[in-house]
Homo-oligomer: A and B are copies of this chain.
């Protein structure tokens, strides 16, 4: 199928030199993707005439649509507009419609139109003005030989409004586009390579028009299915049945889809099962509690936590048996077993969980090297403990332990459903 191709061109020294993070191009390409326009390249150049003109030329040769952000400010170092006028070979003149909009914008704020801002309403005569409802720099729409260039401000909320209100609808009119359907399947508790081996046959059997991508992150692997066709409902049905097959192979590792987060999924399970949770965190130092409480409404199932970092507090505050610490140490199965059960009782929760480990870089011993972590789950009926052997990096060990603990809660809560069924 001959897909419509797009390139996203970001203009600005501050992005090129790393002073500013470009979040626009991600959002824009995701929006294009939704209407079946394929972004085949993203380019960033600085505020330099030659580089901007070269980027225009290269992009026009590659794609049908060039979306440009940045370089529209009122100051002299903003070159996008003069470069577009030069590239499309027309002069810049005051655009009355644009001037009216900029004037209204200032009036609405009770401000007087400055000369600098008045000049922002001057546009290349060979483009159509694109309204900017939230700022002073109008967008510009150019068409030549069936190719479209659109210039938008770099300010994210101004660009997004312009894209949603005008650019996306007009692109759908101008170009005949495919339909693309994406589904992200989120797995946890299995490495990319193990998962790849586990689902190899399933992956090999995917039809030509449905592609699979692996997106690994800390302790998780996202699988993205991309289906291309001309009937959205048909694509959804196809993907749904593929996911059902995938479930037969790796269902126990799948915790959610698309934008689901593990702490969100665990929270929803607790809510649905009318269960409350309390945490005793040692090596994770509050990070798991932070993840859980980052979810709005978590107060409905999250009771609280204790972080008995100093061993004396494991005894004084939580009530861990001193002899346990003496015999087995703080980083041991016995200690997290007690911590999980004690915090459950003391904090009056249905479920208690615990972490204790050597996050590093210090504190390692030959039999308990940095990265040795114990986690535990207790719900009154059962107590589950797990040992993790993680990395040498403190931050990573804290994050990886959090993911492992959240997954242990997820697995235990899933089981308790199965038991009831």
Measured CB to CB, the residues of A under 8 A from B are 10, 13-23, 25-33, 39-48, 51, 55, 58, 73-75, 77, 108-110, 114, 116-117, 133-134, 155, 157, 182, 184, 192-194, 196-197, 212-217, 224, 226, 279, 281, 284-290, 292-294, 296-299, 302-310, 312-313, 316-317, 346-348, 360-363, 389-396, 398
B157 touches A393 (CB 8 A): yes
Residues of chain B lying within 8 A (CB to CB) of residue A14: 213, 215, 224
Closest to A204 in B: B76
Would you call A307 and B306 a contact (CB within 8 A)? yes
Q: By the criterion CB–CB under 8 Å, are A39 and B17 in contact? A: yes
Assembled-state Cα–Cα distance A293/B397 (Å): 12
CB-defined contacts of A41 to chain B, threshold 8 Å:
16, 43-45, 51, 55
A16 near B29 with CB under 8 A, answer: yes
Contact B294 A395 (CB under 8 A): yes
Contact residues in B for A348 (Cβ distance below 8 Å): 312-313, 316
Report the minimal beta-carbon distance from A260 to chain B, rounded to whole angstroms: 14
The reply to whether B19 and A184 contact each other, CB–CB distance below 8 Å, is yes
Whole-angstrom distance between the Cβ of A191 and the nearest chain B Cβ: 8
Report whether A310 and B306 are in contact in the complex, using a CB–CB cutoff of 8 Å. no
Contact B290 A362 (CB under 8 A): no
Report whether A13 and B213 are in contact in the complex, using a CB–CB cutoff of 8 Å: yes
- Chain B residues with CB under 8 Å of A39's CB are 16-18
Top-4 shortest CB links A-B: A285-B293, A18-B30, A286-B289, A286-B286
CB closest chain-B residue, reference A318: B304
CB of A74 to closest CB in B, whole Å: 5
Given contacts A110-B389, A360-B296, contact A309 B304 (CB under 8 A): yes
Partner of A75, one of B108, B157, B214: B214
Jot down 12 A-B pairs with beta carbons below 8 A, ordered by A: A18-B39, A21-B26, A40-B51, A41-B51, A108-B392, A133-B392, A290-B290, A294-B394, A294-B398, A297-B362, A303-B309, A303-B313
